[in-house]
Structure 1
């Protein structure tokens, strides 16, 4: 099983940054709470090669994470497919 994950932040000005990281060791029972805290913080915070990055949500258009996390927020719609319409 591949434990590598990919994250791409797409910014409102059209730029993007791509990151690769190992599977995080988070208890799946706490994942819902962790995701709620991330959304309330109004920023994405990452340690990247020994440096802390903080990205305010106001500068982010969307974030793509692959593969999909094992646990999603309760409000997430699952099983969705992109459509060409």
Structure 2
């Protein structure tokens, strides 16, 4: 069984959507390339329970993937922590 990832989408209107999915690839290069490709599209496309969910990028304030992929696209600041 592939490791599970969590995706948290935070929307401009204050709503949040939490999703869980299996790791999409074991190849770090494929993961980084897929992340970059998703970030370049106007819609975030996710298959959820057999349905296609397409979310306009401009409605998303930010997203969080947990745990982070081992391979990240450049440039990514690494080792940060949230402080309050």
Question: Do both proteins adopt the same fold according to a TM-score greater than 0.5, normalized to the shorter chain?
Answer: yes
Moved over 4 A (4+): none
Contact 2:24–2:31 (CA under 8 A) maintained in structure 1: no
**Equivalent-residue separation in structure 2 for 1:8 and 1:31 (angstroms):** 18
Instruction: Give structure 2 stretches of 5+ with no counterpart.
Output: none
Contact 2:25–2:31 (CA under 8 A) maintained in structure 1: no
User: When the two structures are superposed, what TM-score results if normalisation uses the length of structure 1?
Assistant: 0.86
**Equivalent-residue separation in structure 2 for 1:77 and 1:44 (angstroms):** 22
Q: Give 2:71's aligned residue.
A: 71
Deviation at 1:26, TM superposition (A): 4.9
> How many correspondences in the alignment?
83
User: When the two structures are superposed, what TM-score results if normalisation uses the length of structure 2?
Assistant: 0.87
Instruction: Give structure 1 stretches of 5+ with no counterpart.
Output: none
Q: Specify the SS of the correspondent of 1:29.
A: helix
